[in-house]
Chains A and B, each alone.
Chain A
């Protein structure tokens, strides 16, 4: 497999530095049946490589079971990957000892999907946010308190009101802000967001996404942003990686992937988003992808998407497609990629019928 060349994007910061470089990472789990008998191997992540620059955001999308969370967890060594290399700030995390790893975690933080599940319900907000400072810095109590106030202010929570509260007294959006405050407490370089906005209401989602954006601009943070929906990672991402059953189907500059998806799976994901244009009010009915995702225990031979792919041919069953560089850092793993220009989402939206035929109802008087 060729190495992915990190192409600078106009949106990215001026820095040419690569922050995180993941090489050929493989993660597998042994699935055990009744009596602890080995039932098979789950190929959670198979040979994935990507680069992330300073101040850049990588959006990782894919269905449930596509290995997007496993990839992120293996990259930051929550679970050691089976093989592969992870270069972060010039060090290979895979080879670090536990102690060294703990040190480097100061620069890597995570924000999870369920804020209530990741905040200790018995602790006060100030203690929750101060915890990484206790472990990673030599700040004393007063310094920590000052820093916590500063952090809460930064994420848009009034310290005077929220310092003494406990997580369950907060709404979902507020709790997620606390989780973000805790994540940025030690001035990390990289934040991994695992479905961090998925459980929030639409309006709160927009607030939190803007907060992520503000922190990126202010502190030059890099994000790995995991989501199952392409639309949601759109305006956060410089690069987008589309995962399918443990493999990278497509990776590239966000604009390019969205405008001209080359992998049929990316196209299918884009097509299944229910679209609504806020200006015209025209809705776009999703186009469904037929069939169920295959089991990662017994992935199909050759291309793992072929069982659901409308373009699949005999070659796809025999030969596994390797990621091919299409230029500009846009890579696709497909024998028969979609041509450029494909029909763009916008033009599709205009040609689609506006949802179902409407019949008028007799109005009930208010």
Chain B
């Protein structure tokens, strides 16, 4: 690395905001029928204040379980190991009493279905007010009401004074999700987790909610973890992207350098499956066959190998997640490198074997 670049790097680093969340080798194991199910098999990442991290994966890739473990929202049968530090506080192995102080206070979550996460028998105002007063017992009811209106204005709910007295069924899906975000923001969390928060919404509403999250992040400096299966959404909003498959991270990078240089065949497949407005009618999409892996019987090698068009015998050994390029990690033996045709890769392989 050149001296100039080193200086630039240090300069950047000194300006950088603090790390609010540091996850190191987080593992979550369930037991199903006496057999261990490795829902999350060792993931590590860091999140800084005011940044947005997107965790991408299919159902069963461990993306939700991985963040729920941080909040202690998993059933008691789940075994969580490794480390996850929220502003220096270790979350793994924390007792329920301490966790209750942190959950909803320092780290909050917005779920996919706002209709099911809100209490249908309580007015919107009462529900947000409850969130405000749970974490700060000294707040009086009237003060809390003021704070609620403030929060409703923050999430841009039209006519907040009127909405205060309304019930969830009187709101549209987008408005309900705004209320959920208001509840999550009630105690100014350091980290906000949005678990498929826009999946159930219309595209128009999705864009509005994402704009709101970005705006809040800029104004409040909240770090956001966005869980999604939509690469397009991640590419448009997140700073960093983490792609999960079979409970592990297969590719991790900042957004700017990832999408032009996708290395891992799985990420490539996800990218290819996004419907494009430029595709002609009745064109077939490039697909990869097969199903996501069974987490109770993960192959010892690369979990994606059975579906991977580039898989070879080497893939029977699991590739580690290595930072092959600056800020770009991937776990793959046969990455899509620029200008490397499949034959070239075969040649490279034999060369590597010679070296060994």
Q: Could you list which residues of chain A lie within 8 angstroms of chain B, going by C-beta atoms?
A: 11, 57, 63-64, 171-174, 201-207, 209-210, 213, 216-217, 228-232, 234-238, 254-255, 258, 268-270, 272-278, 280-289, 292-293, 345-346, 354-356, 358-366
Contact partner of B232 among A171, A270, A274, CB < 8 A? A274
Are B202's CB and A238's CB within 8 A? Answer: no
0/1 per residue, B216-235, Cβ < 8 Å to A? Answer: 00000000000001111101
Q: How far is the CB of B239 from chain A (nearest CB, A)?
A: 6
Residues of A within 8 A of B48 (CB): 361
Are B240's CB and A361's CB within 8 A? Answer: yes
Are A364's CB and B208's CB within 8 A? Answer: no
Given known A-B contacts A202-B58, A202-B274, A234-B281, A276 and B259 have beta carbons under 8 A apart: yes
Most buried by A among B9, B174, B204: B204
Residues of A within 8 A of B32 (CB): none
Residues of B within 8 A of A289 (CB): 204, 207-208
Residues of A within 8 A of B207 (CB): 272, 274, 286-289
> What would 16 more interface pairs be, CB under 8 Å, given A283-B259, A355-B238?
A202-B58, A203-B269, A203-B288, A210-B287, A234-B277, A274-B235, A276-B236, A276-B271, A284-B236, A292-B172, A293-B172, A346-B277, A346-B278, A358-B256, A360-B327, A366-B44
Q: Could you list which residues of chain B lie within 8 angstroms of chain A, going by C-beta atoms?
A: 9, 12-13, 16, 44-46, 48, 51, 58-59, 158, 172-175, 202-208, 210-211, 214, 229-233, 235-240, 254-256, 258-262, 269-289, 291-292, 320-323, 326-327, 329
In the bound assembly, the distance between CA atoms of A315 and B335 in angstroms comes to 58
Most buried by A among B16, B270, B274: B274
Contact partner of A355 among B205, B236, B274, CB < 8 A? B236
In the bound assembly, the distance between CA atoms of A3 and B73 in angstroms comes to 57
Are A361's CB and B327's CB within 8 A? Answer: yes
Closest to A65 in B: B172
Given known A-B contacts A210-B287, A363-B326, A358 and B255 have beta carbons under 8 A apart: yes
In the bound assembly, the distance between CA atoms of A91 and B207 in angstroms comes to 43
Contact partner of B206 among A270, A272, A363, CB < 8 A? A272
Residues of B within 8 A of A231 (CB): 274-277
Are B276's CB and A354's CB within 8 A? Answer: no
Q: How far is the CB of A332 from chain B (nearest CB, A)?
A: 19
Q: How far is the CB of A201 from chain B (nearest CB, A)?
A: 4
Are B279's CB and A283's CB within 8 A? Answer: no
Most buried by A among B278, B288, B289: B278
In the bound assembly, the distance between CA atoms of A282 and B278 in angstroms comes to 14
In the bound assembly, the distance between CA atoms of A268 and B274 in angstroms comes to 20
Closest to B171 in A: A292
In the bound assembly, the distance between CA atoms of A359 and B1 in angstroms comes to 19
Are A355's CB and B46's CB within 8 A? Answer: no
Are B283's CB and A235's CB within 8 A? Answer: yes
Are A366's CB and B329's CB within 8 A? Answer: yes
Most buried by A among B205, B281, B288: B281
Residues of A within 8 A of B255 (CB): 283, 355, 358
Are B281's CB and A203's CB within 8 A? Answer: no
Are A203's CB and B270's CB within 8 A? Answer: yes
Are B287's CB and A272's CB within 8 A? Answer: no
Are A236's CB and B282's CB within 8 A? Answer: yes
Are A235's CB and B323's CB within 8 A? Answer: no
In the bound assembly, the distance between CA atoms of A236 and B46 in angstroms comes to 41
Are A206's CB and B277's CB within 8 A? Answer: no
Are A360's CB and B287's CB within 8 A? Answer: no
Closest to B289 in A: A207
Q: How far is the CB of B329 from chain A (nearest CB, A)?
A: 6
Given known A-B contacts A356-B237, A363-B326, A228 and B288 have beta carbons under 8 A apart: no
Closest to A346 in B: B278
* A–B complex contacts, Cβ < 8 Å, 20 sampled: A11-B280, A63-B205, A171-B291, A202-B270, A206-B285, A207-B287, A210-B284, A228-B202, A229-B203, A234-B277, A235-B282, A238-B281, A274-B206, A278-B272, A281-B235, A345-B278, A346-B277, A360-B12, A364-B45, A366-B320
Are A366's CB and B321's CB within 8 A? Answer: yes
Q: How far is the CB of B223 from chain A (nearest CB, A)?
A: 12
Are B239's CB and A358's CB within 8 A? Answer: yes
In the bound assembly, the distance between CA atoms of A283 and B280 in angstroms comes to 20
Contact partner of A276 among B173, B235, B280, CB < 8 A? B235
In the bound assembly, the distance between CA atoms of A364 and B202 in angstroms comes to 36
Contact partner of A269 among B16, B58, B204, B274, CB < 8 A? B204
In the bound assembly, the distance between CA atoms of A356 and B50 in angstroms comes to 12
